[in-house]
Structure formats: structure tokens, C-alpha cells
Amino acid sequence: MINLRGLQFEECISEQKLLQAIDRVAAQINTDFAGKEPLFIVVLNGAFKFATELLSRFEGTCEIEFLKLSSYDGTASTGGVITHIPLDVDLEDREVIVVEDIVDSGNTLEKITDMLVSGGVSKFRIASLFFKPGSYTKEYKIHYVGLEIPNDFIVGYGLDYNGLGRNLNAIYKLKTTKMTNLVLFGPPGAGKGTQASFLKEKYNLVHISTGDVFRYNIKNATDLGTLAKSYIDKGQLVPDSVTIDMLSAEVDKTPDANGFIFDGFPRTTAQAEALDALLDNKGTKVAAMIALEVDDEILVKRLLERGKTSGRKDDADESVIRNRIKVYYDETAILKNYYQKQDKYYGVDGVGAIDEITERLSAVIDGL
Ligand code: IMP
Ligand code: MG
């Protein structure tokens, strides 16, 4: 396992397998270009290592030129392709072999193809050490492929993550830890707190209640708590970035957790996206949004009942209760939609005995 800028990568393709793949590609090129004098165009930065091995196996005479392009930012393609070092060679009537590290979306390949065609080459072939058929969106033929790989983000053997990892002699893939991260929703009175505490025990999850996290940070005057308080004191909403930083710190406290139950967050699409980004940075993701569903009239009855014994003022007034329920549905409608689109929304009947409801929730979690 290696760590690059806080992300974990595990070895998935050995150096030996890479060299065998390069042997195969080199043999094909030696056959196809026997007696020719091709021009190899090496696409920097990623292809340097592949190019060195490939060219050391090339049996004829050839020219070698370099082109530097980029289309990646971190672990995500930016879509656009930028030329950092242009080609400095006459392409007219040349036979060209492009040496690429990896073809992913094919955006880079499209740019190179345009360049070669407009340069007037007589023939060109593409040699790529890796090809991700699952994310390829173009039609161009890739003549020589070292290895077809799944859609994982990889580093090593020339490929980088934010500039690091190119020197590694094997290929490593981003480790996605199998965590069960749940976003738990339920209208006031649905029994969310009760169920969260059962699920936490049963699945060994860490319950992150946003309200508790806020209170803890403010009470202990942490930097983020003090910052949050400065907004609250002015009667302003605490910016998402502050809340997310607090949650991130909370998540970091138990890096070995089996997963987290997020309670009271996200409340908006922007927050849901921020949560996705936070978890993505830690190599994990939201597994499900689970919403406890309880009929309004039952909620009102439950809360009024609770108000009689708990003395909580917001549980004593029916119109206040109804408004809290309405606010809940207004807020969650957007999030339900957000998670539904990703097939992650699960509505669970929240009426019945406590253990029955726990059973229903468990059935959802066990099926994830
Ligand atoms: P494309 O333009 O989407 O085909 O991407 C090609 C370029 O994206 C490659 O030359 C790499 O620089 C980069 N890239 C694509 N997938 C990966 C990966 O899994 N790891 C590191 N870089 C990658
Ligand atoms: Mg490349």
C-alpha cells in the first residue's frame, strides 16, 4: 500500500505483467513497421516510462519526438486538453506511431488525431499501454493496447496522481474502502435518534449528528467552532464550508470506522455534493439515504404525547409541530431527488414497534 497526498493506493498490476504487455506491443510494431522508418511521438508526461521500454525493444531505425499534453486534474478528467509543449517536427507524409500511457475518455486521442491529420501524415498508429474501454467515448481505433483495464483510477509506471507516483514500477489503484455511510432522514418524531443508536451498535457505525458536532465545537471553542459562532452571533447561516470542515474533522477522528451515520446533514444539494466530495477524498462514498416514513397525523400525535412528558416547548404546540414537519418535507424533497437519481434512496416504514423498524432498516443496510 502506498500513500500519495493522503490517498491510499494498492498494487494491482505487477512490473512483470507490464513488461510482458510491452513485449507484446513491441512485437506487433516490429512486425508492422519492419523496414520502415517511423516517427514515434511520445505523449508526455505519462508515457515516458512506457516509451523507454517500448523503444528499447524496437528493432528498426526511427525518430522520436515529444509532445506534452494534459487533461487531468487530480483523479478527474477536465474534458479539455491543453498543449504544454507542441510538436516540433514536419509531419508531412510521415508514418507515425503515437505512444500514449493511457486512453481514458479519448479526448486526448482526438486532439492528437486532429493534429496528425492536419499535419498531413501518410499513416498513423496509436500505441497505448492502458485502455479503459468503460470510459472511452470516441470511435478512433487504438491499434496497439498493452492492457485493457477497468474504470479505476491508477498510478505508477508514468501515471500520476497530482504529480506523484510516476516513478513507481508497478501499477497501483485507488483503494476504495468498503464503508457503510448512511444519510439518515426522518421527520421530527419519526424515531430517528432511537434507530440511529440501534444501527450504530449493530453495524459498528459512528453516528455523526450535525447538531452535536456544532455544540461540541462551540462549547470547546475549537477554531471551527469559534468561526461558526461568529456567524451564529450575527444571526447569519453558517457557511457550508465551515460545516463540512467540522464534519471532515469528525470523520478523521475514527478513520477505521465501518462507516458513518450522517444525521442532520446534508440539507441542501450543495451540501450533498460537498459531502460526496469529502467522502470521495477519503476513498469512500454515501451508500444510502434512508428516510423513515411516518404519516403526519401519527407524528403530530407522537410529538404532542412526548411534549406532555418531556416539557419540550416545541413539542407542545400543534401548529409549531405541523410547521416543523412541513419544513422537513420541503428540505428533504430536493435531497430525496438527489439520492434517488443515484439509486441510493430508501424509504422505510417508520410506524410500528421499535425493533420491527430496526429490522426494516437492517434489511436495507444488509442489501447494500
Ligand atoms: P483521456 O483524454 O480522457 O483519454 O485521458 C488521457 C489522459 O488522462 C492520460 O494521458 C492521463 O494523463 C490521464 N489519465 C486517465 N486515466 C488516468 C488514470 O487512471 N490515472 C492517471 N492518469 C489518468
Ligand atoms: Mg497521457
Q: Average pLDDT, stretch 6-24?
A: 94
Look at residue 121 in the predicted model and tell me its pLDDT: 97
Separation CA 261–CA 196 (nearest Å): 7
Look at residue 276 in the predicted model and tell me its pLDDT: 93
Residue 108: all three cell numbers together = 486526448
18-22, 215-219, 313-317, 364-368: least confidently modelled range:
313-317
Q: What are the residues whose beta carbons fall under 8 Å from the beta carbon of 279, sequence distance 6 or more? A: 181, 251, 285, 286
More confident residue, 255 or 271: 271
74-83, 122-131, 138-147, 222-231: least confidently modelled range:
74-83
Q: Decide: helix, strand or coil at residue 176.
A: coil
> Strands 123-131 and 95-103, how do they pair?
parallel
Phi, psi of 208 (to 5 degrees): -110, 100
Whether the predicted pLDDT of 302 surpasses 80: yes
Whether the predicted pLDDT of 51 surpasses 90: yes
Look at residue 312 in the predicted model and tell me its pLDDT: 76
Separation CA 217–CA 223 (nearest Å): 8
Q: How confident is the model at residue 254 (pLDDT cuts 50, 70, 90)?
A: confident
> Strands 7-13 and 144-148, how do they pair?
unpaired
Contact 204, 254 (CB under 8 A): no
Q: Average pLDDT, stretch 218-247?
A: 93
Q: How confident is the model at residue 1 (pLDDT cuts 50, 70, 90)?
A: confident
Q: Decide: helix, strand or coil at residue 350.
A: coil
Atom of ligand 1 lying closest to residue 47 CA: 10
More confident residue, 78 or 116: 116
Percent of the chain surpassing pLDDT 70: 98
3-state SS string for 87-144: CCCCCCCCEEEEEEEEECCCHHHHHHHHHHHHHCCCEEEEEEEEECHHHCCCCCCCCE
Distance of CA 100 from the midpoint of ligand 2 (Å)? 5
Instruction: Quote the radius of gyration of the chain (alpha carbons, Å).
Output: 28
Any atom of ligand 1 within 6 Å of the Cβ of 75 = no
Q: Average pLDDT, stretch 309-331?
A: 86
Ligand minimally distant from the alpha carbon of residue 172: 1
Q: Taking Cα atoms as reference points, which of 269, 221, 271 lies closest to residue 244?
A: 271
Q: What are the residues whose beta carbons fall under 8 Å from the beta carbon of 125, sequence distance 6 or more? A: 29, 32, 96, 97, 98, 143, 144
Separation CA 8–CA 3 (nearest Å): 5
Look at residue 308 in the predicted model and tell me its pLDDT: 85
Distance of CA 109 from the midpoint of ligand 2 (Å)? 9
Distance of CA 40 from the midpoint of ligand 1 (Å)? 20
For residue 355, the surrounding DSSP H or E stretch is helix 354-366
Dump pLDDT digits (tens) for 140-187. 999 999 999 998 899 999 999 999 999 999 999 988 767 899 999 999
Separation CA 100–CA 103 (nearest Å): 7
Any atom of ligand 1 within 6 Å of the Cβ of 103 = yes
Whether the predicted pLDDT of 79 surpasses 80: no
Q: How confident is the model at residue 252 (pLDDT cuts 50, 70, 90)?
A: confident
Atom of ligand 1 lying closest to residue 153 CA: 19
Separation CA 60–CA 97 (nearest Å): 13
Q: What are the residues whose beta carbons fall under 8 Å from the beta carbon of 131, sequence distance 6 or more? A: 102, 103, 142, 145, 146, 147, 148, 149
Ligand minimally distant from the alpha carbon of residue 68: 2
Look at residue 247 in the predicted model and tell me its pLDDT: 93
Q: Average pLDDT, stretch 88-102?
A: 97
Q: Provide the whole-model pTM.
A: 0.61
Residues designated catalytic: 192, 267, 306, 312, 324
Q: How confident is the model at residue 57 (pLDDT cuts 50, 70, 90)?
A: very high
Q: Which residues surround ligand 2, an ion (CB under 5 A)?
A: 43, 46, 101
Contact 300, 153 (CB under 8 A): no
Any atom of ligand 1 within 6 Å of the Cβ of 13 = no
Q: What is the largest CA-CA distance in the chain?
A: 94
Contact 312, 295 (CB under 8 A): no
Whether the predicted pLDDT of 314 surpasses 80: no
Look at residue 169 in the predicted model and tell me its pLDDT: 97
